[in-house]
Structure 1
Amino acid sequence: MRRDIAVETVLPHPIDAVWQALTDPAELAEWVMPVEGFAAVAGQRFRFLAKPMPGWDGVINCEVLAVDAPHRLVIRWQGSRMRTPTTLTWTLTATDGGTRFRIDHAGFDGPTGVISALMHRSGWQRMARRRLGGHLGSRPAAR
């Protein structure tokens, strides 16, 4: 059994501002989690570093698979407890008055994948709608 996640929201910010929040390491750390070694360049390996919790050391090993600025960023995503990597795709589409932000996170396999997909879905919903939106809203208007 395979589970994939799709989360979508419209942000009242221009596509370039949203792209910067997805690709600038300092901004990325503000709305996702601390990041080490990130650059929006295909082949770049990096890590997200969350607070460790029982059963997980907080490390997510990643690699940038594809970049199509300012529309699409594809990342291989593998938490230290995940048996196989998943694929995370962030897609931006300019809309009247903002940017449609879509998250596709694919490749959650097996019974443990179902649980992992549910946990990731709620996390991505919170990050996309609240944390990214809040981060963008707190920035100065002109950038």
Structure 2
Amino acid sequence: MEKNIDQPVIVERTFNAPASKVWKALTDKEEMKKWYFDLSEFKAEKGFVFQFSGGPEDGIQYVHVCEVTEAIPEKKLTYSWRYEGYAGKSYVTFELSGKEDQTSVKLTHTDIDSFPEQPDFARANFAAGWDHILNVSLKEYLEGKK
């Protein structure tokens, strides 16, 4: 398997929602569970550590351990992303920009190549996952009929 050295996953999308609503979706644990992951706790504060389990439906469920490294309300959220018991650490950044009732979100996931070479940690899986999370789950949550 060939590694893509330092090839970040980048997904961008503009939502028909104000930045305040997008930020709340990204940082409020009650909102997050509706479109992202069900976290027992989350705070958009530098140094806050959170974790959750996830993986292929019929495969290993990995404990994800993350730490907020930057939080600028309604502008930027970054956290580290690693797997308990495995080498490697990556970083996920959500950058928000927009005006009035439209907000663009740029998601960048870097350092994926720091994970062990195994199929579950393949860059293509992260690309497909983030594409679905932003372009389907978050879009439906923010713009769907309530």
**TM-score tier (shorter):** 0.7 to 0.9
TM, length-normalised to structure 1: 0.85
Which residue in the other structure is 2:21 paired with? 17
Q: Is 2:89 the counterpart of 1:85?
A: yes
Instruction: Give the C-alpha shift of residue 97 in structure 1.
Output: 4.3
2-side partners of 1:53 and 1:138: how far apart? Answer: 25
CA RMSD across the alignment? 2.4
Structure (1 or 2) with the greater strand fraction: 1
Which residue in the other structure is 1:126 paired with? 132
**Mapping of 1:98-117 within 5 angstroms?**
98-109=102-113, 112=117, 116-117=122-123
TM, length-normalised to structure 2: 0.84
Q: Give 2:42's aligned amino acid.
A: F
Q: Give 1:30's aligned amino acid.
A: K
Matched-pair contact (CA < 8 Å) for 1:13–1:98: yes
Secondary structure of 1:62's aligned partner: strand
- Residue from 10, 35, 38 that aligns with 1:6: 10
Q: Is 2:51 the counterpart of 1:38?
A: no
Please list every run of 5 or more consecutive structure 2 residues that lacks an aligned counterpart in the other structure. none
Instruction: Give the C-alpha shift of residue 91 in structure 1.
Output: 0.5
2-side partners of 1:113 and 1:101: how far apart? Answer: 29
Identical amino acids, percent of aligned pairs: 24
Matched-pair contact (CA < 8 Å) for 1:2–1:113: no
Please list every run of 5 or more consecutive structure 1 residues that lacks an aligned counterpart in the other structure. none
Aligned length: 140
